[in-house]
Amino acid sequence: MGVFQSAWEQYLALMAKSPVACAFITVAVFVSFLVTWAQFEYKMNCKPSEPPFVPYYIPFIGSMVQFGMHPINFIRENQKKYGNFFTFLMFGRKMTVCVDIDGNDFVFNARHSHVTAEDAYNSLTKPVFGADVVYDVPNAVLMEQKRMVKAGLSIENFKSYIPIFIEETNQYIDKHWTKEEDTVDMLKAISEMIIMTASHTLLGPEIRSKLYEGVADLYHTLDGCFTPIHFLFEWLPLPSYYASDKAHAELDGIFGKVIKERRANPDAKHTDMLDVLMNAKYKNGKDMTDKQVGNMLIALLMAGQHTSAATTTWSILNLADQPAVADKARAEIEQMMGTKVIGKDVPEPSYEQVKDFSVLDNVVRETLRIRSPLVEIMRKVIKPVAIPNTEYVIPAGNYLVASTAISALDEKYYKNAEDWVPSRWEQSDENEGSPDKATTDYGFGATTTSARSPNLPFGAGRHRCIGEQFAYLQIKTILYVLLSRFEFSLDPKRGMPERNYQSMVMLPEGPVLAHYKRRHD
Ligand code: HEM
């Protein structure tokens, strides 16, 4: 006691004599305390039965900053040191990274009794999607909801979407790109094209027509919750947490009115997702509630918004950087359509033709390989799980992190893996799927069982994306219109943007500038 008292007295005396030296000593003592605490905590975390733990120097925060700044570099560096399975600390959470094809398979095919997506994602997605859908329902109900949505993503409906995609893209261009040539924020432009095309086709023309009467602002409010802070905290007294409840209440009112009007006119024919969900039934014969229908539509819109906008934007940026690929796509389109495709009055391709635009297909596929929008796929371990062919067991409470971007950019699987080379997909599909073609039906249709593949931009297993075909069709049709009407080049000062990891979906770092120039006959 006496020792502490005399140290404290000396400290007070030093503060009176030299406050700067005193501040310096305070900081030094505090830093050494933190480092010692971190080392103690780190030692407790290192267990021979668990994957190696990445060292850190700030307790609780752990490696959050390094991971958040550049997750791909962070994972790659630690993969080199520790192999395909390792754990790091992030804001008190133990995150076990599982990479390469073994890691992909382990996470995507983990048993639902042991590892769940809802425990990992619901705090992030509930404010955005709303209650009683996707991760806010038991997994068996989600599988049924996915089955209902899949029924709405039918070829018949897709056929009716192509003219809508074309009309909406043209409308945007005619309103905003009015000059002969100009430099524009490409991410902003494409994001608007995606929201208009998706709202019209999925939510229906009534809600699309209200987009600029406040609905777009409500989406924007919900989108504001799609941030890492909502992943970390289920609730905080912050504006975004209050705002999402209010936005949902307003959207419920808007959707509810449209649903009521449709019910009052049962003979009118619709080919959108709203119509499908209004008439869908659970296995027990019950309908989706109107609130569930509205929330599911919001969930679908949000699931596709940033992912498809990022993919379309990166595609245009790469086509602007390699105009020879754009010319090749145009030549194939003209040959397939049997006519010149230039300027505003582009002919309407059929569903089959859009599907067969193979150069555009390879453009999108290659863009998804090198710029997969979802860099991290998360799960929470609720019962300990053993990693096959290792001595490791991951304890309950840990989070799993898969990153298919790591294997998709690995030289072991793709030559010059960092380069954008759409023609690499002309030769073969061999790297695309695992050799094991067996399928499993989790309740929403057959899905390839194994996830031992390096390139899985749409995931795998029970949580696999059901929007892939819709996304390809939407992105390819938008690219079809844009390439017909314009030549693109990168802004010479800005060049090709870097990747921005600050949002939940990996976007190009702004400002995303590109130059358009009208094409004429
Ligand atoms: C799931 C990617 C577009 C709806 C997923 C997953 C990925 C993904 C990786 C798996 C997530 C996980 O395992 O945790 C993408 C990409 C897209 C895209 C790259 C565009 C380029 C869409 C669109 C829709 C959609 C347009 C809706 C029309 C869904 C749904 C799930 C999902 C409902 C299932 C969630 C679950 O079962 O947990 N997506 N997606 N996605 N996606 Fe997509």
State in Å: Cα 194 to ligand 1 middle: 15
Q: What is the DSSP string of 422-476?
A: TTHHHH--TTTS-S---EEESSSSEEES----S--TT--GGG--S-HHHHHHHHH
Q: How many CA atoms lie within 13 A of 450 on its CB side?
A: 12
Place of tokens 């389109």: 333
Q: Whose alpha carbon is nearest atom 18 of ligand 1?
A: 304
How close is the Cα of 466 to the center of ligand 1, in Å?
6
Report the DSSP pairing between strands 399-402 and 93-98.
parallel
Contact 152 CB / ligand 1 (< 6 Å):
no
Does residue 217 register a pLDDT over 90?
Answer: no
- Closest by CA position to 432, among listed 468, 398, 478, 482: 468
Residue nearest to atom 41 of ligand 1 (CA): 467
Q: Are 462 and 139 in contact (CB under 8 A)?
A: yes
Q: How many CB atoms lie within 10 A of CB 127?
A: 26
422 lines ligand 1 (CB under 6 A): no
pLDDT one-digit tens code per residue, 105-144: 999 999 999 999 999 999 999 989 999 999 999 999 999 9
pLDDT over threshold 60, residue 26 = yes
Residue pair 170/481 in contact (Cβ under 8 Å)? The answer is yes
**Out of 49-53, 426-430, 467-471, which region has the weakest mean confidence (pLDDT)?**
426-430
Structure tokens at 408: 């998709």
The ligand 1 atom at the shortest distance from the C-alpha of residue 310 is 21
- To the nearest whole percent, how much of the chain has pLDDT over 70? 98
**DSSP conformational letter for 1:** -
First to last CA, the chain: 91
Choice between 12 and 324, residue whose per-residue pLDDT is larger: 324
Protein residue with its CA nearest to atom 25 in ligand 1: 467
Give pLDDT tens digits for 365-401: 999 999 999 999 999 999 999 999 999 999 999 999 9
Q: Which two tokens stand for residue 474?
A: 């939407």
Cis, peptide link before residue 239, omega less than 30° from 0:
no
Secondary element (H or E) of residue 89: strand 85-90
Query: What's the pLDDT band for 360 if we cut at 50, 70, 90?
Result: very high
Residue nearest to atom 1 of ligand 1 (CA): 465
| CA of 475, closest atom in ligand 1 | 21
pLDDT tens for 245-301 read 899 999 888 999 999 999 999 999 999 999 999 999 999 999 999 999 999 999 999
Class of domain 130-374+436-453+457-486 as given by CATH: mainly alpha
Band (pLDDT 50/70/90 cuts) for residue 183 is very high
Predicted local distance difference test score (pLDDT) of residue 435: 57
Name residue 9's amino acid.
Answer: E
Distance between CA atoms of residues 410 and 465, nearest Å: 23
Q: What is the pLDDT of residue 285?
A: 95
Residues in the chain: 521
Residue 146 CA to ligand 1 center (angstroms) comes to: 11
For a substitution probing ligand 1, which of 465, 466, 472, 478 has the most ligand atoms within 8 Å of its CB? 465
Token duo for residue 500: 């921005």
- Rounded to whole angstroms, the Cα distance separating 497 from 509 reads 6
